[in-house]
């Protein structure tokens, strides 16, 4: 990661993570090298290189065109070309489970607010993941965003409560995209994705 101003990230990361040059791009449910050169480097360098890479999991509910834009913006920020050694995995909550959480180094959660709470899909993800992860993911760095038509506080409280139980570590201020849809939400999500991936890449979370 070089020469990119990353909001919310300390100066301390600048110049670190020199070892890996492959840039990976994510497709929903996969972590895939973005071009043939990266793919062949990964294949040539074998297990050690793969073992040194870090995994950022994005689990976000996107039931509308606007919320899809937000999830894509998170993914696009996380796949910034200057991020060198982070694999990004994007999943809808109903497709994600404890095995994904156990395999990742950090997680970004995204949800709509529905009836004062997180989406049923994200709640189902937590219901299936809570106990299998409870003793194994303490300290997991995470961040989250909420798309809320007019509020968002109930969802924020609920996510904070569950993740406190899991002893996950909130490393970014929660992003609440509240009110009528604005393009600035897309920029904020992109910055959040970039911030998390850059922090992982630099080894500061």
Ligand X SMILES: Cc1cc2nc3c(=O)[nH]c(=O)nc-3n(C[C@H](O)[C@H](O)[C@H](O)COP(=O)(O)O)c2cc1C
Binding site for ligand X (CB under 6 A): 64, 66-67, 112-116, 147-152, 181
Task: State the nearest-atom distance from the C-beta of 180 to ligand X, in Å.
Answer: 8
Smaller CB separation from ligand X, 44 or 183: 183
The distance of closest approach from Cβ of residue 198 to ligand X in the complex, given in angstroms and rounded to an integer, is 27
Nearest distance from residue 41's CB to ligand X, in Å? Answer: 39
Instruction: Report DSSP state, residue 95.
Output: G
Nearest to ligand X of 46, 180 (CB atom): 180
Task: Tell me the pairing of strands 169-170 and 24-27.
Answer: unpaired
Comparing every residue's Cβ against ligand X, the nearest one is 149
Write down the least CB distance from residue 43 to ligand X, Å. Answer: 40
**Rounded to the nearest whole angstrom, what is the least distance from the CB of residue 117 to ligand X in the complex?**
7
* 75 or 112: CB nearest ligand X: 112
* Coil, strand or helix at 106: strand
Residues 131/134/136/141 CA torsion (nearest 10 deg) = 130
Neighbours of 72 (CB within 10 A): 18
28: Cβ contacts below 8 Å, ≥ 6 apart? 90, 91, 92, 95
Rounded-to-integer distance, Cα 178 and Cα 152, Å: 7
Distances (CA, A) of 181 to 28, 44, 67, 173: 24, 45, 9, 20
Enumerate the β-bridge partners of residue 111.
Answer: 146
For ligand X, the closer of residues 56 and 186 by Cβ is: 186
The separation between CA 100 and the C-alpha centre of its own chain, rounded to angstroms, equals: 12
Q: Whose Cβ is closer to ligand X: residue 7's or residue 116's?
A: 116
Comparing CB distances to ligand X, the nearer of 15 and 116 is: 116
Helices (H) and strands (E) in the chain, counts: 6, 9
Cβ at position 75, least distance to ligand X in Å: 17
């Amino acid at each position: 990661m070089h020469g990119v101003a990353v909001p919310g990230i300390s100066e301390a990361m600048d110049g670190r993570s020199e070892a890996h040059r492959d840039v990976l791009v994510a497709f929903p449910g996969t972590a895939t090298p973005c071009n043939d050169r990266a793919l062949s480097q990964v294949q040539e360098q074998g297990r050690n290189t793969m073992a040194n890479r870090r995994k950022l999991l994005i689990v976000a509910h996107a039931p509308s065109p606007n919320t899809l834009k937000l999830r894509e913006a998170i993914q696009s920020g996380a796949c910034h070309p200057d991020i060198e050694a982070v694999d990004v995995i994007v999943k809808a909550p109903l497709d994600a489970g404890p095995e994904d959480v156990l395999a990742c180094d950090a997680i970004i959660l995204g949800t709509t607010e529905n009836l004062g709470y997180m989406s049923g899909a994200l709640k189902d993800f937590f219901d299936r993941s809570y106990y299998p992860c409870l003793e194994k993911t303490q300290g997991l760095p995470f961040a989250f965003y909420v798309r809320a038509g007019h509020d968002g506080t109930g969802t924020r409280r609920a996510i904070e409560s569950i993740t406190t139980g899991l002893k996950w570590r909130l490393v970014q201020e929660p992003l609440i995209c509240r009110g009528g849809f604005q393009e600035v939400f897309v920029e904020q999500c992109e910055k959040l994705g970039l911030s998390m991936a850059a922090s992982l890449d630099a080894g500061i979370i």
